């Protein structure tokens, strides 16, 4: 059964319905084959851009949809539930655009945002490095000023859309002043000296390309510095709060899809003369799965509503990401169990979704890092 939603306006209902219809018609039927072939669905992102589904939470004056995060995340949930790789991609593209939207000057916004948000250009977010994953202050990639240009050298790791994107939001060190020495740049994918590496061989999300990027004397104009020198860490962390809500939405959608598959199977399959869903042991498992999914959605929306009202939402974003991705892992595993032997085969999507759920506990800050963020905020009061 589809998620029950209380959307604020008829326009919001129409947007979420558009996302659901596209997900049902275009995404779900093609996900398994593309994942099996490790085929990046670039044409899907172009279509999402044409429908306005890549630009949902950005201001209309820059070509965005002007939607609240409360609405955007529920549309993203529908996309992620149909095809997690695409849902993650939509979230990452939005993450890559946030730096310009929130911290760029007016000239940068007017110059770049219409193209970034329209779907013709796909973005990626370059923060992690081989020796600096959960600790961005340990970053080694360096940007050196040479008059009107910067020259970038270093390696970025675990880049979603690496080698597929048209632009990269890149964080690099501009001084040795620890956490205050990082800066943010918008780097075009065709910059000379930028070398995407072969994609990582992953256990899930195989249609979503993840790769390292090597920067060898990549020269860009100083106008591609976003914010001021030294603003990079604050820009990165602010964007990650929103990105964590995006991953929470994708994880919630994945959990809902697993629940729906398990309920349908349990309502059709009989053992010992009864439908599976009539056996108390399995019925209770399904009830726990439903509670986990709806709890994830509630926390995700709490973070979204705080963001929409201009309130601090960092702790709520970390809680939502933690709860939703842990729930997705548990619910997908339980869905495989409900289906029994059938769940362990590729005839049903739950085995693929179980592999996909694991990644969500790792990226956008591991769930151990989320617990650290939450605990630190509790300590500060």
Residues recognised as catalytic: 364
Using alpha carbons only, how large is the chain's radius of gyration in Å?
A: 21
Cα-to-chain-centroid distance, residue 46? 17
What are the structure tokens assigned to 256, written together?
């809902």
DSSP summary character for residue 110: H
Cα(372)–Cα(375) distance, integer angstroms: 5
Cα(211)–Cα(188) distance, integer angstroms: 16
DSSP summary character for residue 200: P
Cα(262)–Cα(282) distance, integer angstroms: 10
DSSP summary character for residue 156: E
Nearest to 377 by CA among 318, 298, 322: 318
3-state SS, residue 187: strand
CA count, 13 A, side-chain hemisphere, 236: 29
Beta bridge partners of 154: 215
Helix 84-103, helix 42-50: angle, nearest 10: 60
Cα(29)–Cα(32) distance, integer angstroms: 7
Cα(352)–Cα(32) distance, integer angstroms: 8
Cα(367)–Cα(364) distance, integer angstroms: 9
DSSP characters over 212-273: EEEEEEEEEEGGGEESSTT-HHHHHHHHHHHHHHHHHHHHHHHHHHHHHHHHHHHTT-EETT
DSSP characters over 267-302: TT-EETTEEGGGSHHHHHHHHHHHHHHHHHHHHHHH
């Amino acid at each position: 059964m589809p998620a029950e939603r209380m959307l604020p306006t008829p326009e919001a209902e129409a947007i979420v319905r558009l996302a659901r219809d596209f997900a049902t018609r275009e995404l779900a039927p093609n996900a398994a084959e593309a994942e099996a072939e490790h085929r990046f669905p670039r044409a899907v992102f172009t279509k999402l851009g044409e429908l306005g589904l890549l630009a949902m939470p950005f201001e209309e004056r820059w070509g965005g949809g002007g939607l609240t995060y409360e609405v955007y995340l529920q549309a993203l949930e529908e996309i992620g539930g149909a095809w997690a790789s695409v849902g993650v991609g939509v979230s990452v593209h939005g993450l890559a655009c946030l730096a310009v939207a929130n911290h760029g000057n007016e000239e940068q916004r007017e110059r770049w945002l219409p193209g970034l948000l329209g779907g013709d250009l796909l973005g990626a977010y370059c923060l992690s490095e081989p020796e600096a994953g959960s600790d961005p202050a340990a970053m080694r990639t360096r940007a050196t000023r040479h008059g009107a240009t910067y020259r970038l050298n270093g390696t970025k790791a675990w880049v979603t859309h690496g080698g597929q994107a048209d632009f990269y939001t890149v964080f690099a060190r501009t001084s040795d002043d620890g956490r205050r020495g990082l800066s943010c740049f918008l780097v075009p994918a065709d910059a000379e000296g930028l070398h995407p590496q072969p994609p990582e061989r992953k256990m899930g999300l195989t249609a979503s390309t993840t790769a390292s990027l090597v920067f060898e004397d990549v020269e860009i104009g100083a106008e591609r510095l976003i914010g001021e020198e030294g603003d990079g860490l604050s820009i990165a962390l602010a964007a990650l709060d929103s990105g964590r809500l995006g991953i929470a939405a994708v994880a919630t959608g994945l959990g809902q899809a697993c629940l729906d598959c398990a309920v349908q199977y349990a309502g059709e399959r009989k053992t010992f003369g009864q439908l599976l869903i009539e056996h108390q042991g399995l019925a209770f498992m399904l009830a726990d799965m439903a509670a986990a999914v709806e709890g994830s959605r509630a926390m995700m929306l709490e973070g979204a509503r705080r963001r929409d009202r201009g309130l601090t939402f960092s702790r709520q974003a970390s809680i939502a990401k933690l709860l939703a991705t842990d729930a997705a892992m548990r619910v997908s595993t339980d869905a495989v169990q409900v289906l029994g032997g059938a769940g362990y085969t590729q005839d049903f999507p739950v085995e693929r979704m179980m592999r996909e759920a694991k990644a969500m506990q790792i990226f956008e800050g591991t769930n151990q890092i989320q617990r650290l963020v939450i605990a630190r905020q509790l300590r500060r009061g």
